[in-house]
Structure 1
Amino acid sequence: MQESSSHHSRFTSRRRPEKTVTPSSSVKPALRTKAIPSQVEALPRLQKVLASAGLGSRRNCETLITTGRVEVDRRVITELGTRVDPHKQEVRIDGERLPDPKRVVYMLHKPVGVVTTNFDPSGRPRVFDLVPVDHRLFAIGRLDRMSEGLILLTNDGDLANHLAHPRYGVEKRYMVQVAGVPTPEILDRLRRGIDLAEGVAHARRVDLRSSHKLSSVLEMVLDEGKNREIRRMLAHLGHKVHQLKRVAVGSLSLGSLLPGQWRPLTWQEIESLRASSGPVDSKLAQRSSRPQVVRRPRENRGATRPFTRETTSSGRTPTPRTGTGRSSQRRVSKKPGKASSWRKPRSTS
């Protein structure tokens, strides 16, 4: 028994004392498996990722999310504001994986006779047929078929919303050839606003550039994009539009680009377009400072408006075309400059 106790004492004496670890700045904490909140907040929202991929405006992309058509890592997402990492997470729309196209913006000089819609049942030439690229594009704003000039095509939904929405106030400049010579009172009416069916249409600036007895050329600057807005404003005042050409959008001008020609925008031009809109609050303040239009009573509206229906040389009112004849299948010339019909006012001297 004594030998056993002495052996136990020798064993216990050889045990090393336990070391006490004191906190030190050199000791590194274990890596966290979950994302840091600040890193999550730095990720883009899901609707922004969809808009950047060319799926439409941010509002349209929000509709895709709320209707359950979007999946992230095979899980349906219906909550707006969800942040994702498009480089590490898999995003699908209607079961198809979201492509990651490079953001592109093209400037096109739209010729007369070309439409800006994605699909035309009459088979008329479209602006997208003039820009043979592999990207899925959509137009920023519109120009009617008989107008020409600068139009932007892109797959960037955020930029499209930034340039097309009236609340951002991006200026568009037009050269307009009209019948007759508008008086200073007519120009003032254009600046104060014209009462159209969907609201009051304003021209931010109007200048008379040249005039003759039969026609004149106006330079008009607008920050809105109502359907055929300029033509309807001038028709309301008794001046038919012969030709209409958009020459600038924001800081971007058409320059020497001929009808049918196009080119990609540089990164500097795209950033300049974003900056040309300015703060939203200042734009709204400018609009609120404009003179209010005095509207006539409903029963008297249209009493003094001039009759502006188009007639042919024989005096007959032309019938609308159905788009089934050979004229609706007319192709626009691909040679630059051949599709434009812009004319200078004719002199009567």
Structure 2
Amino acid sequence: MPGSSSSLVRLHKVLAEAGIGSRRRCEEIIQEGRVEVDGSFVTELGTSVDPAKQEILVDGQRIRVRRKQYFILNKPVGVVSTNFDQAGRTRVIDLVPQDERLFTIGRLDRQSEGLIIITNDGELANHLAHPRYGVAKTYHVEVAGALAVEEIKMIQSGVYIADGFVKAESCRLKRKLGKSSILEIVLREGKNREIRRLLAKVGHKVLRLKRISIGPLKLGDVPAGSFRELKPSEVKALRESSDASAAKGAPKRKLMPRRATSTSPDSRRTKKTTSKGAAYRGGKKKKSKRKSDQQPAPIESRRGEGRAVKQKQASKKKQMRRK
């Protein structure tokens, strides 16, 4: 079939993206012999097509192939990243007027600003946003006060917050501004308000937070509240970045250490101490047997002992009579 290997897509994915049904349902439709590609019926799963160059019909009707769209937007402070906001606040997707269903990649909280990617490409959105791919995201952060070298090292080595272990891939001081400092922080996974909580843990309040890049894509000179469409070369670089990060492996997550309680395994393994202060292992103290705890002798053995005593007494009486 025509098309370069880079432009070929699995047929069932093309049908799903055109709104025919779920991917599983589209596979069933293909096997039922209801799909034509360039005038020929296709029933084999795994068939790849070039939707931009080939004619695809389902039940005799040509499908509408959605053109993939990719935008870079400079999110201003006060705009929310979520697509569904019950409070009716301005959303990021409201700044990009489109009829298509769009996804936001790289959410920022309402007080933060900077680079967000907007697309209708769900697969790329998943690759760039999911922690397992570990795509680097760079931020410029203004914090109150001056950071000591030890605090920067702590940010890079990691700290525990309410929902687990967090750390920066890198953290460096860009410059000092009187009573505040500008940091450049790189993350590979994004928990909710991670940078704010990470810096609060080392005693510094975030005054301003701006994301300047996601992978190889940089914000550049896009004005706040404005957007532009990505170039094909930028989209390709983003894909390659997510693939490289997936091959390298996302950073391993550390869990919160469990506190030892009276019922926890840790507390049961802890050495206990006797009343005299001597430690013994396993929490078990060897007890000396008391007489009351000793098992009584069997009845037969007691009877045997009685007969022996009687025999001894009888022999003594015989000796006395002889005298």
Q: Return the TM-score normalized by structure 1.
A: 0.59
| Residue in structure 2 matched with residue 72 of structure 1 by the alignment | 29
Which amino acid is the alignment partner of residue 129 of structure 2?
A
Following the alignment from structure 2 to structure 1, what is the Cα–Cα distance between the partners of residues 11 and 205?
Answer: 47
Following the alignment from structure 1 to structure 2, what is the Cα–Cα distance between the partners of residues 232 and 222?
Answer: 13
- Give the alignment of 1:224-239 within 5 angstroms: 224-239=189-204
Which amino acid is the alignment partner of residue 14 of structure 2?
V
- Give the alignment of 1:22-101 within 5 angstroms: 44-45=9-10, 48-49=13-14, 53=17, 64-65=22-23, 72=29, 83=47, 87=54, 90=57, 99-101=64-66
Which amino acid is the alignment partner of residue 72 of structure 1?
I
Following the alignment from structure 1 to structure 2, what is the Cα–Cα distance between the partners of residues 246 and 147?
Answer: 8
Which amino acid is the alignment partner of residue 268 of structure 1?
S
Could you tell me which runs of 5 or more consecutive residues in structure 1 were left unpaired when the two chains were aligned: 1-34, 36-41, 56-60, 301-349
Q: Secondary structure at the match of 1:170?
A: coil
| Residue in structure 1 matched with residue 91 of structure 2 by the alignment | 126
- In structure 2, which of residues 131, 155, 158 is the aligned counterpart of residue 190 of structure 1? 155
Change in CA separation of 1:140 and 1:298 when aligned onto 2, cut-off 3 Å: same
Change in CA separation of 1:149 and 1:54 when aligned onto 2, cut-off 3 Å: farther
Shift of 1:168: 2.3
Tell me how many residue pairs correspond in the alignment. 242
Q: Return the TM-score normalized by structure 2.
A: 0.64
Shift of 1:185: 1.0
Report if aligned partners of 1:194, 1:293 keep a CA contact under 8 Å in 2. Answer: no
| Residue in structure 2 matched with residue 110 of structure 1 by the alignment | 75
**1:104-128 Cα deviation digits (max 9, x unpaired):** 1000000000011111110000111
| Residue in structure 1 matched with residue 259 of structure 2 by the alignment | 298
RMSD: 3.6
Report if aligned partners of 1:112, 1:147 keep a CA contact under 8 Å in 2. Answer: yes
Is residue 215 of structure 2 the alignment partner of residue 250 of structure 1?
yes
Which amino acid is the alignment partner of residue 99 of structure 2?
D
Following the alignment from structure 1 to structure 2, what is the Cα–Cα distance between the partners of residues 75 and 123?
Answer: 45
Could you tell me which runs of 5 or more consecutive residues in structure 2 were left unpaired when the two chains were aligned: 2-6, 35-44, 262-323
Larger proportion of strand: 2
Is residue 173 of structure 2 the alignment partner of residue 211 of structure 1?
no
Larger proportion of helix: 2
Following the alignment from structure 2 to structure 1, what is the Cα–Cα distance between the partners of residues 143 and 260?
Answer: 30
Following the alignment from structure 1 to structure 2, what is the Cα–Cα distance between the partners of residues 293 and 73?
Answer: 44
The share of aligned pairs that are identical, in percent, is: 46
Shift of 1:83: 4.4
Shift of 1:169: 2.3
Is residue 122 of structure 2 the alignment partner of residue 157 of structure 1?
yes
Q: Secondary structure at the match of 1:149?
A: strand
Shift of 1:48: 3.9
Q: Secondary structure at the match of 2:155?
A: helix
**Relative contact order higher in (CA < 8 Å, ≥ 6 apart):** 1
